[in-house]
Copies of this chain bind each other. A is one copy, B any other.
Amino acid sequence: MMKLDDIAALAKVSKTTASRALADSPLVKEETKALIREIAKAHNYKPNTLASAFARKKSGIIGFCLLNKDHPSFGHPFFGPVLDGALEQARKDNYHIILAANKGSDYVFEEPFMQDCIEGVVLSSFAPAKAVQEFKKRGIPQVLINDVLNTENNTFIMDDNYGGAYQLMQHLMKDKGHFRIGFLTDRLSHTSYLLRYFAYIDAHRDAGLPVYSNDKLPLFDLEGGFSLSSDYYLKKYGYDDIPRIGSPMVVVGVKSAAGYEAVKQLIATGDLPSAIFAVSDSLAIGAIHALQDAGLRVPEDVAVVGYDDIISSTAVRPALTTVRVNRKEIGRTAIQELEKLIENPEQETKIIYIKNNLIVRKSS
């Protein structure tokens, strides 16, 4: 393997000049540069990346962490596309992406490269404050996806959950004339779902309508045994605690089976809403199946809408009306913001909401 020394020798210049020439420094005469470049090319010279990174103390690597209970899940319909967007952007800006996932509840990321080689890190999924503090302590800039913590001076990227859910509610109420709308959700301790819930409530309030309420439904645990990672949105929307308004159905787990069971329970009460807003497509699909299995028609008897626009939303019949979350855009933006942070680490807290799109299909 050719090294800089060899190229310099061939060009009869010093290593320094050769180095500069290849970095296109203005300090080197154009002729000299051309010569050196030519020689480098002819001998297929490639700088030793490790040596270069070491000397400059810059690796050009960004860590992408998925924080999960026990195993990585890029197979998840949300994170896969986010990663795609991140990779696309990183590549464009000449950064590498290295992957990491926590083991169990240990959020320290002991892996060597994660310790001291990454120039920044994207924390995806539900980042615990512990992980954030850890990176902050090491002085590694970070961007968080999908959640907002109380930690200071961080950049957060998330879907415009409130806006998307509000649009969906407008569609249901204004376009379709529904005014008894059930709410089916995963635990509200997830910020995304909480915001969708607020939009659900506010849409009623703004329309001067009461929120669908059903005495025969149990009082579900709104937080599902977890607690909010931040009270930022509680404050923002004027609450001290997650308010119980109407009769939200809260399930644990994201699987459609959970939605199925909940709606079965709802049907058993005999007091059906005319529409169900499920906080995720997965739950919505379960809801549709439960309705259909009970002999009810969707959307004629009960309309169902979801959120996310996962692939499965067109596999169900009727195809699901939902909100398309721009996952790739979330990934891209995360990298862009991280790069800004790498350039200039001193920044204020910043929350960026990524626009989404209402997708009206047949289920509403």
Contact = CB atoms under 8 A, between A and B. Distances in A.
Contacts of A225: none
A101 B96 CA distance: 11
B50 A72 contact: no
A137 to B, nearest CB: 10
A91 interface: yes
Interface stretch (A19-27, A109-117, A124-132, A191-199): A109-117
Interface residues of A, number: 57
A88 interface: yes
A3 to B, nearest CB: 11
A49 B117 contact: yes
Contact of A91 (B80, B87, B111): B111
B46 A50 contact: no
Interface in A258-302: 285, 289, 292
A256 B315 contact: yes
A98 interface: yes
B96 A97 contact: no
Contact of A311 (B99, B112, B115, B311): B311
Nearest to A111: B96
A167 interface: no
Contacts of A328: 75
A49 B80 contact: no
Given A77-B75, A84-B72, A88-B72, A98 B101 contact: no
Contacts of A101: 87-88, 91
Interface stretch (A51-59, A150-158, A213-221): A51-59
A318 to B, nearest CB: 11
Contact of A77 (B49, B61, B311, B316): B311
Interface string A39-50: 000000011111
Contacts of A77: 75, 311
A113 B74 contact: no
A261 to B, nearest CB: 15
A317 interface: yes
A310 interface: yes
Contact of A292 (B96, B98, B99, B317): B317
A285 B313 CA distance: 12
Interface string A306-340: 00001111111100000000011000000000000
A83 interface: yes
A205 interface: no
Given A74-B74, A84-B73, A115 B316 contact: no
13 contacts: A49-B116, A49-B117, A60-B113, A61-B98, A75-B77, A75-B81, A96-B99, A99-B99, A285-B315, A292-B317, A311-B312, A312-B312, A313-B315
Going nearest first, the 3 A-B pairs with the smallest beta carbon separation are A75-B81, A75-B80, A312-B315
